[in-house]
Structure 1
Amino acid sequence: MTPTIQPLPGQTAKGIALLVAGVAVFSVQDMILKLLSGAYPLHQAMVLRSLTAIPFLLLLVHRDGGLNRLFTPGTRAMIGRGLVMFAAYTAYYLALAALPMATTVALYFSAPLFITILSVFFLSEKVGPRRWLALLAGFAGVLIMVRPGGDLFDWAALLPVLSGLAYAISMISARRLGQTETAAALAFWGNAVFLAAALALSALLGTGHYADEAHPSLAFLLRGWVMPTPFDLMLMMSCGVIAALGLTLLTQAYRISEASVVTPFEYTGLLWSVIYGWIFWRQWPGPLDWLGIAVIVGAGLFILWREAATTRQ
């Protein structure tokens, strides 16, 4: 979410650098979770990640208005938003287990398309014909990549699209909550919900009674807890540090720069997904995948540009 603090003059280049660094940091988390998805359950990784992130997030809350900012009239709404975020990231991580990283990230970037649609109904924002055409083009790109009904269709391709929709809902909520709540408080309650929900899943699925190895996504969700090696335990816990560090970098980027300027650089996450996908899994997008990526990114960038132009007017 975009913090409510006004951007500082003359800090554009620094803001872009911080955002690119934050996206790169979060891309490492994606790579780690995909590496772990073949041997451990997602809920186990989430529990360890969330526990590790707590002290770092408490420090951020303390620096961003004090711990009293955690308990406000908007606390219930922040917890509700945390549940939506949990659904968004659970779907995203399950997709990572079955799909190439570049495909998962590209389909997840359908989120700006959903945000634009939801803003019309819930924020009464006006969307012109050009942005509607960009939306149609963006969803055409999604269809190109998902290829429903084709021989190569995998139902897991629907998960990052679902993730993008849930993320869009959380961002619409953040636009309202951001008027009264701090970014650090939103992040803390999001992490708290992650921990509670992951513990609930672990209590239900941790014994491995429902384990199903027939599909990578189902295996990542239903697999029972496994005693991790010291190295794998370090990887899981590092995700908590990565989340806190990435949040700090992104928050600072939006603090000192205009959102309309730095937001397009979030698409650099696609670059990292292609690089990691090739290095660790020798996965390279095919021609249709590149076409879908180009259409989704182009539509998203156009929508961001039009939104910024409308805001300036």
Structure 2
Amino acid sequence: MTASTATDSRLGILMMLLGMSLFTFNDALGKWLVAEYPVGMLVAVRSLFGTAILLPLIWREGLAAVFAVGRLKMHLLRVVCVTADIGCFYWAVRYLPLADVMTIYMSAPLIVTALSVLFLGEKVGWRRWAAVVVGFVGVVVVLNPTGTFDPLPSAMALLGAVIFSAGLIFTRVLRGAGTLSLVTYQTLGGLVLGGVTLPMAWVDPGWLDFLLLGLLGVTALAGHSAINRSLQLSPAAVVVPFQYVSIVWAVVLDLLVWGTMPTARIGLGAALIIGSGLFIFYREQRLNRSAATQASADLGAAD
């Protein structure tokens, strides 16, 4: 590894840590605000501020370059998934500790693995299926259906994780559209879909709360930018494991802001979910390297 590569990897790790920290702060801020304001209002105002930040970038790239995309129906389905996922998350954290909901959402790599078989026709070996099963055991541990189980918020968090995973599948299919197009569509979609609810669910905020609502959009875009930059600087295998720092921040914020102490059940469930997710990621990286090596060997033989 050269000095330049090592520097890029370290910077990539720092950008991933920054991005996930911003997302966790965003989620905690949403939990704070959703106690006073409707979910649809949070989504709409957050998206309004996000759109304001995006406008100079859209102007620079040109409307045609940003909005003229193929597979428009799939883009719209992705917009619905992203907006519904945000709504489910905010609704769930109104009633559950932040760390609980975020731990459930960390099952997304497991859900994506299962959905990729159904919708993308990808092949998943028995090792990854075993990891998926172990991870979902972790989800059941977190939900704790035999103990103090709040069924509706817990089900909403799990539904949000499934919708979030479906959005990731759509993003994988549409990755050729470009980052700005994807972010713009999802931000405007949140503005439209959240805005539809405003006549029925508007609560006049003070100027400080209005700025805090807008900060949701700012931190979300900043988090996306930091994570995208992280993946540009460093290989995914280096930086992706650091996404789980968000669980640590969620536990800290739960304790400092709401006085909620994490339970041993959450710790066990998080360990199973995170361990399974890391194993699936490791297997995917290994299989990709094997496929690339085989392709190079086949090309060499053809020459």
Report the TM-score, using the length of structure 1 for normalisation: 0.86
Distance in 1 (CA, whole Å) between partners of 2:77 and 2:148 is: 39
Task: Look up the match of 1:271.
Answer: 248
Aligned-pair CA distance for 1:119: 1.2
Alpha carbons of structure 1 residues 247 and 300: separation in structure 2 relative to 1, 3 Å: same
- Kindly indicate whether residue 125 of structure 2 is the aligned counterpart of residue 112 of structure 1: no
Look up the SS of the partner of 1:150 in the other structure: coil
Report the RMSD for the aligned CA atoms in angstroms.
1.7
User: Does 1:129 find its partner at 2:126?
Assistant: yes
Q: Please point out which of 134, 147, 150 is paired with 1:150.
A: 147
Alpha carbons of 1:152 and 1:122: their partners in 2 closer, same or farther (altered >3 Å)? closer
What pairs with 1:216-255 in structure 2 (closer than 5 Å)? Answer: 225-255=202-232
| 1:250-308 deviation per Cα after TM superposition (whole angstroms, max 9, x unaligned) | 11112222223222211111011001100000111111121111111111111111111
Aligned to 2:296: none
Partners in 2 of 1:186 and 1:75 — Cα distance? 11
Which amino acid is 1:47 matched to? A
SS of structure 1 residue aligned to 2:217: helix
Structure whose alpha-carbon radius of gyration is higher: 2
1:93-108 to 2 correspondences below 5 Å? 93-108=90-105
Q: Tell me if 1:286 matches 2:263.
A: yes
Give the letter aligned to residue 28 of structure 1. F
- The residue number in structure 1 matching 2:87 is 90
In the alignment, what sits opposite 1:56? Answer: 53
Report if aligned partners of 1:260, 1:308 keep a CA contact under 8 Å in 2: yes
- Pairwise mapping of residues 175-186 of structure 1 onto structure 2 (< 5 A)? 175-178=172-175, 180-186=176-182
Q: Is 1:108–1:163's contact at 8 Å kept on the other side of the alignment?
A: yes
Structure 1 distance, partners of 2:20, 2:148, is: 33
Letter in 1 for 2:18: A
Inter-CA distance 62–77: structure 2 relative to 1 (3 Å threshold): farther
- In 1: Cα distance, 2:182 partner to 2:55 partner: 11
Q: 1:153, CA displacement in angstroms?
A: 3.6
Whether the aligned pair in 1 keeps the contact of 2:131 and 2:280 (CA below 8 Å) is: yes
Distance 1:70 1:14 in 2: 32
The alpha carbon displacement at 1:201 in A equals 1.8
| Post-superposition CA distance 1:120-147 (Å, at most 9, x none) | 1222222111111111110001111112
In the superposition, relative to structure 1, how do residues 22 and 74 fare at CA in structure 2: closer, same or farther (>3 Å)? same
The answer for unaligned runs of 5 or more in structure 2 is: 291-303
Matches within 5 A, 1:57-76: 57-61=54-58, 66-67=62-63, 68-76=65-73
C-alpha contact 1:147 1:153 (8 A) present in aligned 2: no
Q: Note if contact 2:16-2:227 (Cα within 8 Å) is conserved in structure 1.
A: yes
Q: Which one-letter code corresponds to 1:89 in the other structure?
A: I
CA deviations on 1:212-260 (whole Å, 9 max, x unpaired) are xxxxxxxxxxxxx221122211110111111221121111112222223
Report how far residue 62 of structure 1 moved: 5.6
Cα distance, 1:312 vs. partner?
1.0
Structure 1 position 163 matched with structure 2 position 156 = no
| d(CA) in 2 for partners of 1:94, 1:160 | 8
Match in the other structure for 1:220: none
Distance 2:106 2:29 in 1: 20
Residue number in structure 1 paired with 2:295: none
C-alpha displacement of 1:149: 4.4
Is contact 2:43-2:83 (8 Å) kept?
no
Match of residue 196 from structure 1: 192
> For each residue in 1:167-192, what CA deviation from the matched residue of structure 2 results, as whole angstroms up to 9, or x when unmatched?
111111111111x2001110110011
The count of corresponding residues between Structure 1 and Structure 2 is 285
Q: State the match for 1:262 in structure 2.
A: 239
The residue number in structure 2 matching 1:28 is 25
Render the CA deviation track for 1:69-113: whole Å, top value 9, x for unaligned: 322223332222111111111111111111001101000111111
Is the CA contact 2:109–2:277 (under 8 Å) kept in the aligned structure 1? yes
Which residue number corresponds to residue 294 of structure 2? none
